Amino acid sequence: MASSEFKRNAAIIGSGSYVPEQIVPNTYFNALLGEDVDTWLRENVQIYERRWCSKDQSTADLIEQACVSALESANIGAEDIDLLIVATDTPEFVSPSTASVIQDRLQMKNAGTFDVNTACAGFVTALDIGAKFIQADQNYNLVMVVGAYAMSKYLNLQDKKTVTLFADGAAAVVLRATVEDKGLMQSKLLTKGEYNSWMGIYGGATHMPLSAVVLENKEHLLKFVKKIPTHINPEIWSEMIKNLCAKSNILPSDIDHFFLTQININSIFATMDVLGVDREKAATIMHKFGYTGSAAIPMAF
């Protein structure tokens, strides 16, 4: 087929990632919590270490470096970007957007900007939005999509359910408009909103503004309220993958690489098993980087 027969689409032409320099090994938590958590982490979730921001680092610092790397990978300049989308639930400020901070720092003078907050699903949501901007509007030819996380800033150091799992990082991709037979094939967004109160940071916004009481009760820090059932992710992921494959007339076994959120290696393996696909096809990076939320999937990529 000639290229003119294909509709305008979005393809990834560059990527980059960045993690803080500070390495936090599992043994740190043995001393912090006064018990052996290293063994459990290694045997159950295969996290051996993670990266945390220094006192002077924040989400924007991580994003800035990831974006510079992605621009170099794509061999373009910051001024070439038409739109910057940042996916994060650990923003630089409550307001304005983190994306506006990055636009200023990198002098992306021609880029529109906005943030997306859909927690763990942040990057794939932002990627879908970025691709659809390109598909729908010829004013957008180069779109930068970023996933970023600095959850170490919101951890209760005495809560072993959260403090041992979460970490920091950022990664970015550059999307370019194309009329060739490549780019985004299928996408689907799905939310299980009934779990909104099960895990999160519930203090610090309009529902529970910061106050002495909120700070004293540590409501501004991340917490698990209820344990999310372990079967949820493998069931949803595998069903979505099967449906998307069916729409493209392919099988899951035809896919070479799978990039799934990195909070639990067992959820990834269970998904691959349901699909009947070799586990080796799924990227796993939690061993050295822990769980990095919106940054996990693009970091794995």
Residue-level pLDDT at 130? 98
Residue-level pLDDT at 168? 98
Q: Compute mean pLDDT per 10 residues along the chain, 301 residues long, and list them.
A: 68 98 97 95 95 97 98 98 98 96 98 96 97 97 98 95 95 97 93 89 91 89 87 94 96 97 94 97 97 97 97
Q: What is the DSSP string of the chain?
A: --GGGSPPEEEEEEEEEE--SEEEEHHHHHHHHTS--HHHIIIII---EEEE--TT--HHHHHHHHHHHHHHHHT--GGG-SEEEEE-SS-S-SSS-HHHHHHHHHT-TT-EEEEE--GGGHHHHHHHHHHHHHHH-TT-SEEEEEEEEEGGGG--TT-HHHHTTB-EEEEEEEEEEE-SS-S---------GGGTTTEE--SSSSSS---HHHHHTTTTS-EESSPPPTTHHHHHHHHHHHHHHHHTT--GGG-S-B----S-HHHHHHHHHHHT--GGGB---HHHH-B-GGGHHHHH-
For 7-29, give the secondary structure using H, E and C: CCEEEEEEEEEECCCEEEEHHHH
Residues 6+ apart with CB under 8 A from 103: 84, 109, 111, 113
Q: Is the Cβ–Cβ distance between 19 and 169 less than 8 Å? A: yes
Pairing of strands 168-178, 9-18: antiparallel
Q: Is residue 200 part of a domain?
A: no
Q: Is residue 112 part of a domain?
A: yes
The total of structural domains in the chain comes to: 1
Cα torsion 115, 127, 233, 257: sign: negative
Q: Is residue 141 part of a domain?
A: yes
Tell me the one-letter amino acid at 274. V
Residues 6+ apart with CB under 8 A from 152: 52, 53, 166, 167, 168
Residue-level pLDDT at 6? 66
Q: Is residue 165 part of a domain?
A: yes
- CATH code (residue 62): 3.40.47.10
User: Which pair of tokens denotes residue 28?
Assistant: 């740190």
For 151, the domain range is 3-178
Q: Is residue 64 part of a domain?
A: yes
Q: Is residue 31 part of a domain?
A: yes
Burial pattern 109-127, b for ≥16 Cβ within 10 A else e, equals eebbbebbeebbbbbbbbb
Q: Is residue 201 part of a domain?
A: no
Q: Is residue 93 part of a domain?
A: yes
Cα torsion 57, 169, 292, 130: sign: positive
